[in-house]
Amino acid sequence: MTVVRVAAPGRVNLIGDHTDYTNGFVLPMILERRTVVEGEIIPGDMIRIESADDPDICVFPATVASPGRLNPAWGRYVAAMVREAGEVPAFRARVTTDLPIASGLSSSAALEIATGRFIREITGREWDDVAMAEAARRAEHVASGVPCGIMDQLCIAVGRHDHATFIDCRDLSFRHVPIPETLEVVVRFVARRTLVGSEYADRVADCRAIEALIGPLREADPAALESIVDERLRRRARHVITENLRVLASLEALSEGDLDGFGRLMVDSHRSLARDFETSNPRMDAAVEELMDEPGVLGARMTGGGFGGCVVAIRRRL
């Protein structure tokens, strides 16, 4: 049988956090670091997955019914993608990655998309990138229980190196935005964390509550904020509404070569996430401050879901 080898990268988000699950705008980019899935079709009806980072093997039927209950837990992402794909032959595969796990760089979405690409290869079936990303988002919900948006899976499925991916999360249209050669993107690790059991789901629930009051956040006018009586919900809404505007302003700044302007928008985004959305923490705030003091740095912010993970900065190449 032919051995198939596929890969999918991690991602870092330049700007636009906690906007995807209310159909807003995001500007993430794929990383060099990636997850590789290598394997082949085997006889029988069982799927066997090994990981270079774990001596335990994950074994489940090709007709897996409850991927969310498997162990080891990383196998759930693979199994959930198998279930999304429908009819999949038995196979064995080995997963290797140089992405740090539980660090906010979307190692789980990379595993989902790598699995999707592997299944596409071994079955020779059509599986459009956007449809695969939508399947991967559902798989993430099943595997981790985290009610995430589409940003990570779609960026990883369609991203291009040295480009950011501007995504409109309402219709899933996207555009590759070149990163100017004079700009360097710096990712700095702060702390391991998982979004499983975190306040991520509370933020999603807050946004649902806001939308029940003022309608879709994506279309909301900043003036609508005044009608939100609850102080916490008002701050949450202010973050989402202004963050969407910042993503659009960043696109404009990038296209005009206004890198200082882009940097300032990143700093504003961090402040909004820290004060209004409360997804930062003192260590991440300190990491952002430190980066801002480094030569050539134009902007820095927390990136991704928050509560730990990584911070990102843009630096002028010296």
CB of 198 to ligand GLA, least distance (A): 10
* E strands in 149-264: 163-168, 173-178, 183-191
CB of 249 to ligand GLA, least distance (A): 17
Partnered with residue 72 across adjacent β-strands are none
Helix (H), strand (E) at residue 251: helix 231-256
Pairing of strands 173-178, 297-302: unpaired
Q: By CB under 6 A, is residue 304 in contact with ligand GLA?
A: yes
CA pseudo-torsion sign 254, 251, 262, 153? negative
Binding mask 115-154 for ligand GLA (x = CB under 6 A): ---------------------------------xx-xx--
CB atoms within 10 A of CB 263: 23
CB of 20 to ligand GLA, least distance (A): 5
Name the residue nearer to ligand GLA (CB basis): 51 or 269: 269
Name the residue nearer to ligand GLA (CB basis): 4 or 110: 110
Name the residue nearer to ligand GLA (CB basis): 122 or 151: 151
Per rule CB under 6 A, count of chain residues that contact ligand GLA: 10
For ligand GLA, the binding residue among 112, 305, 310, 314 (CB under 6 A) is 305
CB of 161 to ligand GLA, least distance (A): 20
Positions 148 through 187 that interact with ligand GLA (CB under 6 A) = 148-149, 151-152
Q: By CB under 6 A, is residue 18 in contact with ligand GLA?
A: yes
CA pseudo-torsion sign 67, 71, 74, 78? negative
**CA gyration radius, the chain:** 20
Q: By CB under 6 A, is residue 20 in contact with ligand GLA?
A: yes
CB of 152 to ligand GLA, least distance (A): 5
Partnered with residue 92 across adjacent β-strands are 40, 48
Contact window for ligand GLA (CB under 6 A) among 12-20, 66-74, 225-233, 263-271 = 12-20
Pairing of strands 46-51, 297-302: unpaired
User: What is the amino acid identity at position 195?
Assistant: L
Name the residue nearer to ligand GLA (CB basis): 116 or 304: 304
Q: By CB under 6 A, is residue 17 in contact with ligand GLA?
A: yes
Catalytic entry in 152, 206, 268, 276: 152
Q: Torsion angle, CA of 122/9/102/268, rounded to 10 degrees?
A: -140
Name the residue nearer to ligand GLA (CB basis): 46 or 196: 196
CA 191 to chain centre: 17
Sequence-separated (6 or more) residues with CB below 8 Å from residue 69: 76
Active site residue 152: yes
Pairing of strands 4-15, 25-41: antiparallel
The residue ranges that bind ligand GLA (CB under 6 A) are 17-18, 20-21, 148-149, 151-152, 304-305
Would you name the residues annotated as active-site residues?
152
